[in-house]
Amino acid sequence: IRGFYLINRGILKIFFPNQIVFVYFLKLPTIFFGEIYGLNLALFLMLFLGFVSFYFLVAKKVCKSAAVPAAVSYTTSSFFLWHGMQNPEIILAASFLPLYFWSLLNLEEAIQGSSARRFFAQSSLSAILFALVFLSSFYIGYFLIIFTVGFFVFERFRSWKVEGVPIFERKVILAYLSLSFGVFLLTLPATIALFPTNNQGGDPSQLESLREGLSRNTLLDLVAYSARPWDYLLPSIYHPVFGSLVRNFYGYLRNNFSYQFWSTSLPERANFLTVTSIWLAIYAVFRMAKNRVLPPEKKLILSLAFLTVLMFLISLPAIVTFKGWAIPLPSYFLFKVFPMFR
């Protein structure tokens, strides 16, 4: 029904005109199977794509024995299930994310080699995968920019500290410049609409809509819709076993603490990492601490651990007050630069 409403009311065209990968991914199945069956098929294809891409990442970079449970955990998480009903464009973008991370890891390996053709090809592939994410969901694409910058900074520091590679090595600069240029070109169908906001040309109503979209969010929105640390560890309030406990916990916070401790509405806090994901992460860190992993695996674990901490900090409220002191967190500074995202 929601999909039928999306197509017939034109909401798909109105709210997602430049997220062209998402628009056509949803629209093409409706041409052959009708609106109801077509949009349901599109959702199942998103879940299947997420499963395959995550399986591919784990099988190629970790081991095949962990690939199936990891992929199942990824695509059956509350994040996928809730946003599949509320924000399907986020699910499509998340389905491409594992392939993008795989391509970044391969780009770093290509940089270490001697073939310029290989790292240019790999940077092109990374740019294509980034564009698929960005043109599926601008929201996920924004955070993917932060993720990519974090990955670049960590890899440069690790390569310099562990391998003695200069931070600004020529091959590194060329590889990431080509990646950036490729991303710029491939995302132009969406980003070119922002260019007229800096001059007097263009449709006045479109310019006004863009300006409003760039500044409509407030710092209070950022605090309200950010994640709370426990959101990643608690299942849904509809969980058959723990649902009532989770519901009571959130009720206790709302009744006894300030709004900074309140979690957002249910679809916004669908961040439970699942027991499988948490257990696999702890097991990987434990094996690394005991020196039971190979050097490539250790490199991957360290990279993921750094990026996890970085994105976790960014997901927290912009400001936390402690004994009368207002402490800004990373998202506060990002909001000052990009106020359209919260």
User: CB of 182 within 8 A of CB of 124?
Assistant: yes
Which of 165-169, 178-182, 224-228 is modeled with the greatest confidence? 178-182
For residue 124, name the pLDDT band (cuts at 50, 70, 90): very high
Percent helix / strand / coil, the chain, rounded to 5: 75, 0, 20
| CB crowding 25-46: b at 16 or more within 10 Å, else e | bbbebbeeeebeebbebbbeeb
The more confident residue out of 307 and 30 is 307
pLDDT of residue 9: 47
pLDDT at 197 over 80: no
Residue with tokens 């969406």: 190
Report the share of the chain in percent with pLDDT over 90.
25
* Poorest-pLDDT segment among 51-55, 113-117, 186-190: 113-117
Residue with tokens 């976790």: 312
Distance set, CA 167 to CA 153, 172, 304 (Å): 9, 8, 20
Distance set, CA 137 to CA 63, 88, 157 (Å): 30, 9, 30
Give this prediction's pTM: 0.84
* Poorest-pLDDT segment among 7-16, 23-32, 103-112, 197-206: 7-16
pLDDT of residue 212: 60
Contacts of 118 (CB under 8 A, 6+ apart): 110
pLDDT at 90 over 80: yes
CA distance 33 to 109: 43
For residue 214, name the pLDDT band (cuts at 50, 70, 90): low
For residue 195, name the pLDDT band (cuts at 50, 70, 90): low
pLDDT of residue 55: 95
Q: At what angle do helices 20-33 and 88-112 cross, to 10 degrees?
A: 120
Helical segments of 216-323, H only: 219-225, 243-256, 275-289, 295-315
pLDDT at 196 over 60: no
CA distance 68 to 72: 6
The per-residue pLDDT of the chain, averaged, comes to: 81
The predicted model gives 126-150 an average pLDDT of 93
| Residue from 159, 102, 168 nearest 299 by CA | 159
